[in-house]
Structure 1
Amino acid sequence: MKKTLIILLACTALFSCKDNEKKEQPEQKEEQKAIDPVSNESLESAVIYEANIRQYSPEGTFDAFTKDIPQLKELGVKVIWLMPVYPISMKNRKATGDLSVEDIEDAEEREKYLGSYYAISDYTDVNPEFGDFEDFEELVETAHENGMYVILDWVANHTGWDHKWIEENPDYYHKNSKGEVTDPINPATGESWGWTDVAHLNFENKELLEAMGEEMKFWVEEYNIDGFRADVAGEVPTEFWESIVPQLKEIKPIFMLAESEDKDLFENAFDMGYNWEGHHIMNEMAQGKKTAKDWDAYMHKIDSTYQEDDYLMSFVTNHDENSWNGTVKERMGDASEAMMALTYTLPGMPLIYSGQEYDMDKRLLFFEKDTIPKEKGKVWPLLEKLGELKNENKALHGAKEAASYENIETSEEEKVLAFKREKDGAELIYIANMSDENTSFSIQLNGTFENYLSGETLEISEDKNMDLESWQYFILINK
């Protein structure tokens, strides 16, 4: 009897476990359906958002950013790039100018200098100023629930001076003739870049490659992040990236962004690079130093330089440009809107930097607490429209199977930039007066088009001149 009872209890427990498994499975499937794995298909129509957690809100926390993630869907954002979220070293921490915190005697004054995000003391922890791991996990889950991928800023070239490797593995670092660990040195001049708050890692040490790889795996395995933006990617040996990326992809599909234009990095490691040269040309066009013809030459150059499936991230601002080179208005003035629209209509992926969506017209402090404006003005609704177009119109596909890009000839090639994008029957045309003078011109284009931003119908023909005011632009779609 006792034996029969035990058997009955065991069977009951077994069926109960199976029932529980059946109940759990739909929940697991539902969670998995929150977002599909990263794929080229999802990246073709993506907008990327650079999140500066410290400056995004008065609180400067993960939680404050997380509650706004659903709003980013309105802007068509599909990838969130988090600037470094790791603890920041105190030793040699940058303050202002050439000063470090050690140079500041007043204790209260010293406390306001929070240091550079890129001087990392621990690759596998979060900055306590931002919150804890639970807060970080909630951020990632919220992004996934809203159809967005999360990539982390990865700084492989150097660590902060408080990193444990300095003491435990000094052979991981570059050293001078005295055997002292150095900050990064410019190989062309032999002099410091001025990044005195960080210690330069030496990837000739093969143990470092393995150790760094394990630190990256931690975030993919434990916190389900979807890839990395690699800081100064070209300063780190390509061998490292080509070694670790396949290992990361064994865990799950990931997206890799290189802060570099080096085409060799795209061979076996990175999906996308920076459109630095294009960005600089945009600045110079806005300042009257370069013309639409220079832009056409640049597009011809990259068409012949890169492989067909290489692509770049385009931007009018980012954390470096904003803090060190000026706001969008400072650099681009009245041309700002035309340039922003250009970043969306080019092949590749457009970037929004924290504050850009709120018409931010100030340089954010880099080593201290600051905050972006949070009032929607002119830029937000424009980014909504551009984001919707990028998400939904195949003519703006920009990743490995990008829509075609074809220059359109005009009678004012120095002033007028015109090109067509096309894929699977979808067509889009961008026409802009890239000068500070009103311009009349003819264009090698015929047809009836919809002005996407205004909804108006435009009839265009080769034998009839078009007139554009300074910096005026059209985004035209086929009727």
Structure 2
Amino acid sequence: MSWPEEPVIYEVNTAVWLGELSREAGRLITLADVPAPAWHAVTPAGVDAVWLMGVWERSLPGLAIANAHAGLRASFHEALPDLQAEDVLGSPYCVRRYVVAEEFGGDEGLARARAELAARGVRLVLDYVPNHVAPDHPWVTEHPEFFLRKENGEIELGRDPYFPPWPDVVQLDAFSPALRAAATMTLASVAARCDGIRCDMAMLVTNEVFSRTWGLPAPERDFWPEIIGGLRALHPETVLIAEAYWDMEWALQQQGFNFCYDKRLYDRLVSGDVEGVREHLRADPGYQARLLRFLENQDEPRILSELDAGAARAAAVVIATLPGATLWHEGQFEGRRVRPPVFLARRPVESLDHDLAAWYRRLLAVVADHGVRRGDWSLLEAEGWPDNQSCQRLLAWEWEAADGARHVVVVNFSDQPAQGVLPVGWPEKFTDLLDGGAVHEPVSQLYVELGPWGCHLFVTA
């Protein structure tokens, strides 16, 4: 199934989701027998792919290490005050084998899930962790040459260059030719079971970062071009998504990734930095088209624990209408505020905001149904008056499709009113798709006046 240029991805915490479905049904639900209404709930209109986060076999030694770690245990209890022993599964990024966990239905269950999604025109995304594996991964005994070791011969724990090691995983040697060959085959085996792969902490195995982290001389060829080149020979259509930080997005795009996390945009939206957002969006459109925009994922706080309701909605309109891929997190639409650690298989009961969920679903549907993100994208600069510079609070851009369809998005990303004029002429009537379909008369310039966190999504009528 081919991918759209601007895909919309919906992330689901597999363990939490299946656990809730099982409790509702009074029996074990696996990926092989998810009820149709549950698939419908995670494939709302406008969603192109579902990321089933955390399907692979987890490590029992890794689980024991997590349970013995005081800091992790504290985070578990903070998220889930009535924590029970069975709620802790271990980290989905402490992978024992790239085989679907039996409790989730095994590889056969995953194949059924992929077929269910495909029947709805939706693609499947899975995880791959290039930097480390679980301490009981078969490679530890079968291929000791794949790992970095201390002077005493012990395998190094996995880490990045800025923080202490992760205690539950062991470090692969990204410079080892043998490891690279094995990694290529592993990535290909994942690609055979899905349509897209999200690569965890993808920058850690680049020559630049790996050399800096471990003080080792880098080989001539970088990790990802070698691995991705091998993958493309077998699975040319697989979309690759890099979890990327430290301004490594451009480098990873050049090394073969289709999309890279846009953490900088996330940080600026959460901090309310309107000018920072605008400056970020002045980057080359080709670069922006290969970013993945998000407000939540399994590693970031729930957006309603960071922003108030109005700001969160305005930020969602920004994310939904920019070029590139977009990522939405299960529970975000319903207004959940607690992000359980990925080690947990259960989350707390929270009051769900069904009106907010309906708003999110309508936003995604409107963007998809009206082809908002088609054609050429350009940033717009609102102008004000000498005695009124509230236009600086406005974020605005335009999409113009080859067939002449035009959309203009305007967001007042502030808690104060804002006015401004946009250099957009509308020789015909135009409609605001977000305010119930009000029709406006032709104008030579577009004057906008928005209350706090207000938004317009205009289209020629």
* Pairwise TM-score range, normalised by the shorter structure: 0.7 to 0.9
1:432 partner amino acid: V
Aligned position for 1:78: 48
Match of 2:438 among 447, 450, 456: 456
Q: Residue 5 of structure 2 corresponds to which residue in structure 1?
A: 44
Structure 1 CA distance for aligned equivalents of residues 234 and 175 of structure 2: 26
TM-fit CA distance, 1:83: 1.2
Kept after mapping to 2: 8 A contact 1:56/1:65: no
Q: Measured at CA, do residues 234 and 215 of structure 1 come closer, stay the same or move farther in structure 2, by a change above 3 Å?
A: same
Match runs of 1:53-132 below 5 Å: 53-57=14-18, 58=20, 59=22, 61-63=30-32, 67=36, 68-93=38-63, 94-95=66-67, 97-98=70-71, 110-123=85-98, 125-132=99-106
Q: What does residue 393 of structure 2 align with?
A: 415
Equivalent pair of 1:66/1:139 in contact (CA under 8 Å)? no
The one of 400, 416, 424 equivalent to 1:437 is: 416
CA gap 1:339/1:459 in 2 versus in 1, 3 angstroms: farther
SS in 2 for 1:378: helix
Amino acid at match of 1:282: L
Counterpart of 1:153 in 2: which secondary structure? strand
Quote the residue 2:179 is aligned against.
208
Q: Is the 8 A contact 1:56 1:355 kept in 2?
A: no
Residue 66 and residue 121 in structure 1: after superposition, are their counterparts in 2 closer, same or farther (change >3 A)?
farther
**Which of 406, 409, 416 is the aligned partner of 2:379?**
406
Give the direction of change, closer, same or farther, for the CA distance of 1:281–1:420 in structure 2 (3 Å limit). same
Q: Mark the CA change 1:347 to 1:465 in structure 2 (over 3 Å): closer, same or farther.
A: closer
- AA of the residue aligned to 1:387: L
Specify the alignment match of 1:396 in structure 2. Answer: 373
2: CA distance, partners of 1:471 / 1:99: 37
**Mapped partners of 1:431, 1:307: distance in 2:** 22
Distance 2:313 2:120 in 1: 28
Determine if contact 2:62/2:91 at 8 Å carries over to the other structure: no
**Structure 1 residues 404-423: Cα deviation after superposition (integer angstroms, max 9, x where no partner):** 22223232343111221222
- Return the letter of the residue paired with 2:53: M
Secondary structure at 2:181 match in 1? helix
User: 1:192 corresponds to which residue?
Assistant: 164
Distance (whole Å) between structure 2 residues aligned to residue 135 and residue 349 of structure 1: 27
Does residue 258 of structure 1 match 2:242? yes
Following TM superposition, by how much is the alpha carbon of 1:375 offset from its aligned partner in structure 2, in angstroms?
5.9
Shift in CA distance, 463/251, structure 1 to aligned 2, threshold 3 Å = closer
CA–CA distance in 2 between the matches of 1:180 and 1:49?
A: 40
Match of 2:264 in 1: 277
One-letter identity of the residue aligned with 2:453: W
1:452 aligned partner, one-letter code:
L
* Corresponding residue for residue 18 of structure 1: none
Cα deviation, residue 164, structure 1: 1.6
SS in 2 for 1:420: strand
Checking the alignment, whether the CA contact within 8 Å between 2:382 and 2:392 is kept in structure 1 is no
Asked whether the equivalents of residues 444 and 461 of structure 1 are also in contact (C-alpha less than 8 Å), the reply is no
Return the offset for 1:350. 1.7
Check the 8 A contact 2:6/2:289 in 1, yes or no: no
Unpaired segments ≥5 residues, structure 1: 1-36, 102-107
Give CA deviations for 1:273-332 in whole Å, capped at 9, x if unaligned. Answer: 1111011111011xxxx22x22211111x22xx7558511111111101xxxx3211112
Q: Distance in 2 between matches of 1:475 and 1:395?
A: 9
Distance 1:241 1:395 in 2: 33
Query: In 1, are the aligned partners of 2:46 and 2:369 still within 8 Å (CA)?
Result: no
Provide the C-alpha distance between the structure 2 equivalents of 1:119 and 1:44, rounded to a whole number of angstroms: 32
- Equivalent of residue 244 in structure 1, options 211, 227, 232: 227
Of residues 138, 141, 147, the one that matches 1:164 is 138
CA distance in 1, matches of 2:258, 2:6: 14
Deviation sequence 1:383-412 (CA, Å, 0-9, x none): 333323333444403xxxx53222232323
AA matched with 2:139? W
1:117 is displaced (CA, Å) by 0.6
Please report how far the alpha carbon of residue 474 of structure 1 lies from its aligned counterpart in structure 2 after TM superposition: 1.0
SS in structure 1 opposite 2:416? coil
Q: CA deviation at 1:71?
A: 4.0
- Of 352, 369, 372, the match for 2:328: 352
| Largest Rg, 1 or 2 | 1
Kept in 2, the 8 Å contact 1:452–1:476? The answer is: yes
Tell whether the 8 Å contact from 1:347 to 1:403 is kept in structure 2 after alignment: no
CA distance in 1, matches of 2:49, 2:133: 26
In 2: Cα distance, 1:367 partner to 1:331 partner: 22
* SS of equivalent residue, structure 2 residue 337: coil
Counterpart of 1:30 in structure 2 is none
Count how many residue pairs are aligned between Structure 1 and Structure 2: 412
What TM-score do the two structures reach when normalised by structure 2?
A: 0.81
Q: Letter of the aligned partner of 1:226 in structure 2? A: D
For residues 271 and 75 of structure 1, what CA distance do their matches in structure 2 show? 23
Q: Are the counterparts in 2 of residues 46 and 391 from structure 1 also a CA contact under 8 Å? A: no
Quote the residue 1:315 is aligned against.
294
| C-alpha spacing 1:112/1:387, structure 2 compared with 1 (3 Å) | closer
Between the aligned partners of 2:72 and 2:311, the Cα distance in structure 1 is: 36
More divergent stretch after superposition (128-137 vs 201-210): 128-137
Query: Aligned partners of 2:10 and 2:446: how far apart in 1?
Result: 41
Q: Report Cα offsets for 1:345-388 as digits up to 9, x if no partner.
A: 10112211111232323222432222487967123333333323
Question: Is 1:267 matched with 2:284?
Answer: no
| Contact preservation (8 Å) 2:132, 2:172 | yes
- C-alpha change, 1:250 and 1:376, in structure 2 (3 Å) is farther
Query: In 2, distance between residues paired with 1:277 and 1:66?
Result: 38
Contact 1:419 1:431 in 2 (8 A): yes
- 8 Å CA contact retained: 1:296, 1:407: no
Q: Which one-letter code corresponds to 1:470 in the other structure?
A: P
Could you tell me how far 1:426 is from its partner in structure 2? 1.7
Do the aligned residues in 1 keep the contact of 2:12 with 2:330 (CA within 8 Å)? Answer: yes
SS at match of 2:56: coil
Tell me, in whole angstroms, the C-alpha distance in 2 between the residues paired with 1:50 and 1:86: 15
State the secondary structure of the residue aligned to 2:140.
Answer: helix
Report the AA paired with residue 56 of structure 1: W
Tell me, what secondary structure is at the counterpart of 2:307?
Answer: helix
Structure 1 length normalisation: TM-score? 0.78
SS in 1 for 2:279: helix
Q: Against the structure 1 CA distance between its residues 470 and 109, is the aligned structure 2 distance closer, same or farther, given a 3 Å change threshold?
A: closer
3-state SS in 2 of match to 1:265: helix
